[in-house]
Amino acid sequence: LIDWHAASIANEMVNDLGDWLRHWLKRGIQEQGSAAQEVLDHCEHDVSKLWKQWSDQCVAQLSIQVYAPAQLRKELDTVLTLQTELDGSERVLQGVQAIVKKGPASQGALDALASLECSHEQLLHKVDTLYALLNIQDRFPELDGVSLEFVQTLLLAQDLKINICKWAIGSFF
């Protein structure tokens, strides 16, 4: 009985789909067309320039390099996580340094602190080397000399843009 009822509802919705699409396309296109024409009428740029910008935008968005590979994203996330953890350990190390400087400390404590500082610097250098080995500059020459955090921000902005585009396109239907 439930299957029959679901099939009946699905059949009814399929039959009504054409009317629904015609209604929304007719209403939506007229309203959007009027609004777009009004914006174009008040715009100080000529239409040929706007078409050129539109085609440039399409080419830029369809470029292969616009879509960062998933592997690059994973590698950047890993390096950024390492960097964040190292920043946290650096804060702890600075706190220990402040405590040692305030009070008397044994030579063993000072030696251990110096060893930790040296190890921390080596880890920072290795993380920077790991970031350099990702060859981001070779895969994406536009990002040459750009910091890891900024690349991560760019990737997040790209994801946000893609999600907004999907949402906007989905809102028309």
- pLDDT tens figures, 114-132: 888 888 888 888 877 877 7
For residues 165 and 87, membership in a common domain is answered with yes
- The closest of 154, 158, 20 to 76, measured between CA atoms, is 154
pLDDT score for 69 = 62
For residues 86 and 117, membership in a common domain is answered with yes
pLDDT score for 64 = 53
Report the amino acid identity of residue 162: I
pLDDT digits (tens, 9 = 90+) for 92-115: 888 888 888 887 878 887 888 888
Q: How confident is the model at residue 136 (pLDDT cuts 50, 70, 90)?
A: low
For residues 81 and 29, membership in a common domain is answered with no
The number of helices, as runs of H, and strands, as runs of E, in the chain is: 6, 0
Q: In the chain, what is the straight-line distance between the N-terminal and C-terminal CA atoms, in Å? A: 31
* 57: Cα within 13 Å, side-chain hemisphere: 6
Helix (H) or strand (E) holding 168: helix 148-170
pLDDT digits (tens, 9 = 90+) for 54-97: 888 877 776 655 555 666 777 777 777 787 788 888 888 888 88
For residues 27 and 77, membership in a common domain is answered with no
Residue 17 lies in a domain: yes
Residue 102 lies in a domain: yes
Residue 151 lies in a domain: yes
How far apart are alpha carbons 16 and 9 in whole angstroms?
Answer: 11
Which of 8-12, 73-77, 133-137 has the weakest average pLDDT?
133-137
Residue 59 lies in a domain: no
Residues 6+ positions from 29 with CB-CB distance below 8 Å? none
The DSSP call for residue 44 is: S
pLDDT score for 65 = 54
For residues 40 and 75, membership in a common domain is answered with no
What is the phi-psi region of residue 145: left when phi exceeds 0, alpha when psi lies from -120 to 50, beta otherwise?
Answer: left
Residue 109 lies in a domain: yes
For residues 26 and 102, membership in a common domain is answered with no
Residue 52 lies in a domain: no
pLDDT score for 107 = 82
Residue 51 lies in a domain: no
- How many independent structural domains does the chain possess? 2
Of residues 144 and 18, the one with the higher pLDDT is 18
For residues 21 and 106, membership in a common domain is answered with no
Cβ atoms < 10 Å from Cβ of 79:
21
Residue 50 lies in a domain: no
For residues 130 and 80, membership in a common domain is answered with yes
Residue 140 pLDDT > 80: no
* 149: Cα within 13 Å, side-chain hemisphere: 3
Domain interval for residue 127: 67-170
Degrees to nearest 5, angle at CA 20 with 17 and 22: 110
For residues 75 and 40, membership in a common domain is answered with no
How far apart are alpha carbons 40 and 148 in whole angstroms?
Answer: 40
CA 170 to chain centre: 20
* 14: Cα within 13 Å, side-chain hemisphere: 6
For residues 40 and 85, membership in a common domain is answered with no
